[in-house]
Amino acid sequence: MKRLLYIISYPFIKFISKLPFKILYKLSDLLYLLLYNLFKYRKSVVRKNLELALPDSSELERKKIEKKFYRHFCDLILETVKVFSISKQELKERFKITNPEVIHELEAQGKSVIYMCAHYNNYEWILALRFHGMKNTSYGIYKKLKNKAFDDLLRKSRSKFETYLIDKEAIPKKMAEDKLKNKKANYGMIADQSPKRRSARNWLEFMGLNTPVFTGSELLAKRLDLAVVYMKIEKVGRGYYETVLEPVTTQAKKTDNGEITKAYFKKLESQIYRRPEFYLWTHKRWKYKDQYDRDQHIFF
């Protein structure tokens, strides 16, 4: 059944990905009408999240943010599909790094680097990092898809941009092996997901709410003494993004426990407050907010 689904959908995905951006965004406008007005896709989740995270905004203000979010969300869906056919040059032009010297300086120091981003703006296009002077081998950490055919397709499409996907379960071993072999590498990680309830061991205040967080990026950085850089992605136009690379630390082992994770979420929080419409509000980010127990969990 999964193979059949792939056979049916793959030609459609490839066709959509080859459309020029002008037509792609016409489809995005249509998708917005379908998801927002007709299907009301996860609208109750989005509204609840906005209410929790932005309690000082009026209902009218949150409604405007909600609509802007869904328009961006539909753009993001089509831009993700576009990755299957977009050229390296066009991706580089549409996803610019404003200070690539950060990459060059860290690699000149012989550092392997964790590049941390979030579900904010177009996190799918961080593949363009490769085309701004990066020399180290580049890996993207992701959750393996259950459909093997689609998983293979995803890996193939990303590898053409010289970025190799590694399942999140395999990354600790892979990074340890790279360290042992003195192989310099760059690892792209999205670190703002919500842990499962049984894994909610570390909490911090994010958007004014008690929030369970993953600390894997920090633990790996400290264990292997990697540099950590935050990717501050900004949308400067429809289909155009600029990213400022903000070093968090070049000496992870010397940081206090929780310092890297807290810095990451503070940077993300600042972006969200400034332009909230670009955060991925469809996830139940604060579903465990009332289950925090100060005696059982570490609170940064």
Series of mean pLDDT values for 10-residue runs along the chain (300 residues): 65 92 98 97 97 98 98 97 94 96 96 97 94 93 81 79 91 96 96 84 93 95 97 98 98 96 98 98 90 68
Beta strands in the chain (DSSP E): 95-97, 113-117, 137-142, 163-167, 185-190, 202-206, 209-212, 227-237, 240-249, 298-299
Residue 192 in tokens: 């703002």
Domain limits for position 284: 89-299
* Whole-number Å distance between alpha carbons of 130 and 145: 24
The DSSP 8-state label assigned to residue 234 in this structure reads E
Q: Decide: 186 and 116 in contact? Cβ < 8 Å.
A: no
Residue 101 in tokens: 């010297």
* Phi then psi dihedrals of residue 152, to 5 deg: -65, -40
* Whole-number Å distance between alpha carbons of 113 and 229: 7
On whether residue 230 sits in a domain, the answer given is yes
272-276 contacts: CB < 8 A, separation 24 or more? 272/53, 272/120, 272/207, 275/234, 275/235, 276/50, 276/53, 276/54, 276/65, 276/69
Residue 189's contacts (CB-CB under 8 Å, 6 or more residues apart) are 114, 115, 116, 117, 141, 216, 217
The CATH number given to whatever domain includes residue 190 is: 3.40.1130
Give residue 125's identity as a one-letter amino acid code: W
Position of tokens 């600029």? 242
Q: Within its chain, how far is the Cα of 29 from the centroid? A: 23
| Amino acid 145: pLDDT | 76
On whether residue 158 sits in a domain, the answer given is yes
Residue among 144, 143, 146, 142 nearest 1 (CA): 146
Number of Cβ within 10 Å of residue 135's Cβ equals 12
* Whole-number Å distance between alpha carbons of 125 and 242: 11
On whether residue 178 sits in a domain, the answer given is yes
On whether residue 24 sits in a domain, the answer given is no
* Whole-number Å distance between alpha carbons of 88 and 99: 19
Residue among 158, 129, 150 nearest 233 (CA): 129
On whether residue 210 sits in a domain, the answer given is yes
Give the count of domains, the chain.
1
On whether residue 215 sits in a domain, the answer given is yes
Position of tokens 């089509």? 78
* Whole-number Å distance between alpha carbons of 225 and 278: 32
Chain length of the chain: 300
| Amino acid 6: pLDDT | 59
CA distances from 293 to 13, 205, 212, 213, 290 (A): 45, 13, 11, 14, 9
On whether residue 165 sits in a domain, the answer given is yes
Enter the pTM of the model: 0.94
On whether residue 46 sits in a domain, the answer given is no
* Whole-number Å distance between alpha carbons of 219 and 225: 10
Residue 130 in tokens: 């490769």
